[in-house]
């Protein structure tokens, strides 16, 4: 059974740093595309970052240069290092596994499994 369990959220002051972890079971993180998606209180979903199975990473403009996605293959765990945190980073952060579909030479990815989310609150 696929499971994703996020930890590491909490209250942090503006300008501070936090590292989120996402422990995966039931599949191999390094063989899949993995993402972080966040949701500010009462707001919609915002895609944050993705790490491809080959190791390439991409970020939303809102976090580029401040957040880093990574994984530890030995621990089957995904991470999100968040630096220079701002009030607008306050959100529930979801870890997500992407399923890859290919047809006729074209491929795309969709989130097929989500973690339960971890709340990050940036406030003084």
Partner 1 sequence: DIQMTQSPSSLSASVGDRVTITCRASQSISSYLNWYQQKPGKAPNLLIHAASSLQGGVPSRFSGSGSGTDFTLTISSLQPEDFATYYCQQSYSTPYTFGQGTKLEIK
Q: How buried is residue 67: exposed, middle or buried, by Cβ count under 10 Å (0-12/13-18/19+)?
A: buried
Q: Residue 69's closest CA among 107, 44, 99, 33?
A: 33
> Considering the complex, what minimum distance in angstroms separates the CB of residue 33 from partner 1?
10
In angstroms, give the least distance from the CB of 31 to partner 1.
Answer: 19
Residue 58 CB, nearest approach to partner 1 (Å): 4
Is the Cβ of residue 15 or residue 116 nearer to partner 1 in the bound state? 116
Q: By C-beta, is 87 or 110 nearer to partner 1? A: 110
Residues that bind partner 1 (CB under 8 A): 35, 44-47, 50, 58-61, 94, 101, 106, 108-112, 114-117
CA atoms within 13 A on the CB side of 97: 23
* CB closer to partner 1, 27 vs 114: 114
Tokens representing 120? 């990050």
Give least dist CB 74 to partner 1, A.
26
């Amino acid at each position: 059974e696929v499971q994703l369990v996020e930890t590491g959220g909490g209250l942090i002051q503006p300008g501070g740093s936090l590292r989120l972890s996402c422990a995966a079971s039931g599949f191999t993180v390094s063989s899949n595309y993995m993402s972080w998606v966040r949701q500010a209180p009462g707001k919609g979903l915002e895609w944050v970052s993705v790490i491809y199975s080959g190791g390439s990473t991409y970020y939303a403009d809102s976090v580029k240069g401040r957040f880093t996605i990574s994984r530890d293959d030995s621990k089957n765990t995904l991470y999100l290092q968040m630096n220079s945190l701002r009030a607008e980073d306050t959100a529930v952060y979801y870890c997500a596994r992407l399923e890859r579909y290919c047809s006729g030479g074209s491929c795309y990815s969709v989130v097929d499994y989500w973690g339960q989310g971890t709340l990050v609150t940036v406030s003084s």
